[in-house]
Structure 1
């Protein structure tokens, strides 16, 4: 004898339960209705950052088109693309690129690796690209990855200070390598032209410079806009 099993018919509610009032384990409420309120936290005033720390966070910079070649050869360039000018200083946007010549695969790998090097600290800048500025009054600064606060009282810093803010990205293949870097210069040098100086011994780049016009930097300050009126 063959037993036939009839299909089970689904039970249907005449009216679906409201989504926010589903009975779960004996109560009728939303799961999230009875969660404790998070205590409010008092707003704490943020300390003002010193000018040498980096660009102001509440300004749209004026752009100074003072870009040019800091160094150029048949195979290598160091280029200042543009300068973002703020009320307290300026951000230098650099790119360096190397084109492959007759290097072997191993030599080219070493060149690519070297091209990604940055200054490491204020105490040891002779690793990778050496970058500095010479002001019209004779003062100068060398780029470093750490600001002055690690070595002296921040209130005693008079400048100039040139800080590495990090790279904007890079790329490489079997024919070229290119990388970018951003450098914060404080205070803004408007009392005479400034020389941007670069050197890279491992890549064969001799000491080279590009002059930044004080007039163009001053003009760009007038185009700085605050985010907030007050």
Structure 2
């Protein structure tokens, strides 16, 4: 279970090394050209909706794929037809019932699991488990193409994609693909130049704001 790693009043803030490892886990290497794994899979479909994965790009530390969502016709009666609201988990301040949201999960052969229901209110600086992160994407009232980053690379064996979208007639289902093309493609990812430190050289964390010496505001939030 994920828990927030924001430091409490008696804990040390994360080190630059921890921040660097966290950044590497959260996104694809910026100094690499990925290799294609040649994987597409239809996860679920009805007469009026379909969800699949495509454009699987593999890096040395993980892989990125596009979740393709298609509707035969728009649903203006459903959240005003704003389909991207229902995909992923980045909608601050908007409460969408679980039965209306498209839920996506992934499981490796060794039992590691992650899903779009992960709690990211605080970064897990020391979490080395399987992670899936929503990245860029967009769409309209009938189509969404949403990218996701998965880290680390899968071990030998199957990779299982789990989908649930009851509002569109898709109960929980599992789609299994072989991890071999993903692991093989990782060996073809090309390093363009040596990696650069994200936090120390490019985006050094700002210093903490000054606090009163006494009182409630003298302690950092945790």
Shared fold (TM-score, shorter chain, > 0.5):
yes
Are 2:69 and 1:99 equivalent residues in the alignment? no
User: So what's the TM-score if we normalise by structure 1?
Assistant: 0.65
Choose from 152, 156, 168 the match for 1:203: 168
SS in 2 for 1:228: coil
Distance of 2:34 and 2:53 partners within structure 1: 17
SS in 1 for 2:181: helix
Report if the CA contact (8 A) 1:54-1:184 is conserved: yes
Structure 2: runs of 5+ lacking an equivalent:
1-15, 196-222
Report if the CA contact (8 A) 1:64-1:84 is conserved: yes
Are 2:148 and 1:183 equivalent residues in the alignment? yes
Choose from 42, 46, 52 the match for 1:69: 42
Report if the CA contact (8 A) 1:83-1:91 is conserved: yes
Are 2:23 and 1:54 equivalent residues in the alignment? no
User: So what's the TM-score if we normalise by structure 2?
Assistant: 0.67
Rg larger in 1 or in 2?
A: 1
The residue aligned with 1:164 is 134
Report if the CA contact (8 A) 2:108-2:155 is conserved: no
Structure 1: runs of 5+ lacking an equivalent:
1-44
The residue aligned with 2:122 is 150
Report if the CA contact (8 A) 2:82-2:140 is conserved: no
Q: Cα 1:52–1:146, aligned 2, differ >3 Å: closer, same or farther?
A: farther
